[in-house]
Amino acid sequence: MIKSTPHRSLFHILLPFFRSTIVIAFSLAKEVIVEIQSAGRGPPVNQSSRYRSHVTLYIENSDGTRTPSGWSTRESDGADRDAPFAFQPGVNLIEGWTEGVLKMREGERSWLHVPSDKGYGAQSMGSPNGGGFYIPSNSDLLFDIEILGVEGEYGKQDL
Ligand SMILES: *[C@@H]1O[C@H](CO)[C@@H](O)[C@H](O)[C@H]1NC(C)=O
């Protein structure tokens, strides 16, 4: 004879759903999410090449809004002039940048949602005074990044 109370049965039925919800919430908080704005036709980004990119960095707020960090390579986002940024995945970059761009292709423009612990973590960056670059500690980051091409082949691209 099964003698469990209705409460207990309901709890046991729902437990797997609670568990999967917790796992999903945890991985959303920890993983870098790449949200494609415009697909790239080039080869996938890899760790052995150096790439030129356009980047605008925002702070991603918990309510889904974004705050400019004061850093952009794009004149249209406040830079003095367009000044592409060169990088090699895994070299002198925050973990979230490397993880995110390795899921992109040349020519692609995407939003990279980077949780704080794969960004600058508890460290603040820049200065809150003077209206320049500033990222408060424990900020989630949002990169609007476009992979222009491999460095050296930049002239063949569309810029
Ligand atoms: C990395 O990408 C570059 C540029 O597309 C390519 O020439 C190179 O063969 C790739 N290397 C590897 C290891 O996939």
C-alpha closest to that of 70 among 124, 113, 147, 34: 124
Q: Which residues of 24-53 are buried (b: 16+ CB within 10 A; e: fewer)?
A: eeeeeeeebbbeeeeebebeebeeeeebbb
Domain membership of residue 92 (yes or no) is yes
Domain membership of residue 100 (yes or no) is yes
Q: What is the pLDDT along the chain (159 residues), one digit of tens a residue?
A: 555 555 667 767 777 776 666 555 555 567 899 999 999 999 999 999 999 999 999 999 999 999 999 999 999 999 999 999 999 999 999 999 999 999 999 999 999 999 999 999 999 999 988 778 999 999 999 999 999 999 976 544 444
CB atoms within 10 A of CB 101: 28
How many distinct structural domains can be found in the chain? 1
48 lines ligand 1 (CB under 6 A): yes
Domain membership of residue 75 (yes or no) is yes
Q: Give the per-residue pLDDT at 39.
A: 97
Q: Closest ligand 1 atom to the C-alpha of 150?
A: 4
Q: Closest ligand 1 atom to the C-alpha of 42?
A: 5
Distances (CA, A) of 11 to 4, 18, 23, 24: 11, 10, 18, 20
Q: Give the per-residue pLDDT at 159.
A: 42
Mutational test site, ligand 1, from 41, 47, 49, max ligand atoms within 8 Å of CB = 49
Domain membership of residue 113 (yes or no) is yes
CATH number, domain at 128?
Answer: 3.10.50.40
Q: Global pTM? A: 0.79
Q: Closest ligand 1 atom to the C-alpha of 46?
A: 1
Could you list the residue range(s) of the whole structural domain that residue 111 is in? Answer: 31-156
Domain membership of residue 18 (yes or no) is no
**Longest CA span, the chain:** 78
Closest protein CA for atom 13 of ligand 1: 48
Domain membership of residue 5 (yes or no) is no
Domain membership of residue 19 (yes or no) is no
Cα 150 to ligand 1 centroid, rounded to whole Å: 9
Beta bridge partners of 141: 59, 114
Domain membership of residue 59 (yes or no) is yes
128 lines ligand 1 (CB under 6 A): no
Cα 43 to ligand 1 centroid, rounded to whole Å: 8
